[in-house]
Amino acid sequence: AQKVTQAQTEISVVEKEDVTLDCVYETRDTTYYLFWYKQPPSGELVFLIRRNSFDEQNEISGRYSWNFQKSTSSFNFTITASQVVDSAVYFCALSERNYGGSQGNLIFGKGTKLSVKP
């Protein structure tokens, strides 16, 4: 069955600390896509990254980095030197190409609420 697990419900850190948000997924498909979205208090979900199942390269974008490991079915997200503006709920999501993977039919994790205190 398809599933995305974000085991950390809430994380609180002090500014400038590094923080890693965990995401573990289950899928029966060989072609699938993984996403991270950020939802600040204003409400809109903001796309952060997309990875397809054939691309296991890790990615760095400024203070953000992602570690995709198919062997452990994980797609973890690290924020380096966290800032107060990083405070938000972060969702990991999965979309399958061949099993119900239509547009917008994302399987979301339950989200991790990150609070960065000054």
Partner 1 sequence: DTEVTQTPKHLVMGMTNKKSLKCEQHMGHRAMYWYKQKAKKPPELMFVYSYEKLSINESVPSRFSPECPNSSLLNLHLHALQPEDSALYLCASSQGTGVGAANEKLFFGSGTQLSVL
Select 43 or 118, whichever has its Cβ closest to partner 1: 43
Select 28 or 110, whichever has its Cβ closest to partner 1: 110
* Residue 108: burial class (beta carbons within 10 Å; 0-12, 13-18, 19+): middle
Least distance between partner 1 and beta carbon 97 (Å): 5
Q: Which amino acid is at 55?
A: D
Select 86 or 96, whichever has its Cβ closest to partner 1: 96
> Which region, judged by CB under 8 A, interacts with partner 1, from 12-20, 34-42, 56-64, 67-75?
34-42
3-state helix vs strand vs coil in the chain, percent to 5: 5, 50, 45
Q: How far apart are CA 117 and CA 33, in angstroms?
A: 32
Least distance between partner 1 and beta carbon 103 (Å): 5
Least distance between partner 1 and beta carbon 18 (Å): 25
Q: Under rule CB under 8 A, how many of the chain's residues touch partner 1?
A: 27
Select 38 or 76, whichever has its Cβ closest to partner 1: 38
The per-residue DSSP string of 71-96 comes to GGTEEEEEESS--GGG-EEEEEEEEE
Q: Which one of 76, 88, 111, 116 is in contact with partner 1 (CB under 8 A)?
A: 111
Is the separation of the CB atoms in 77 and 11 below 8 Å? no
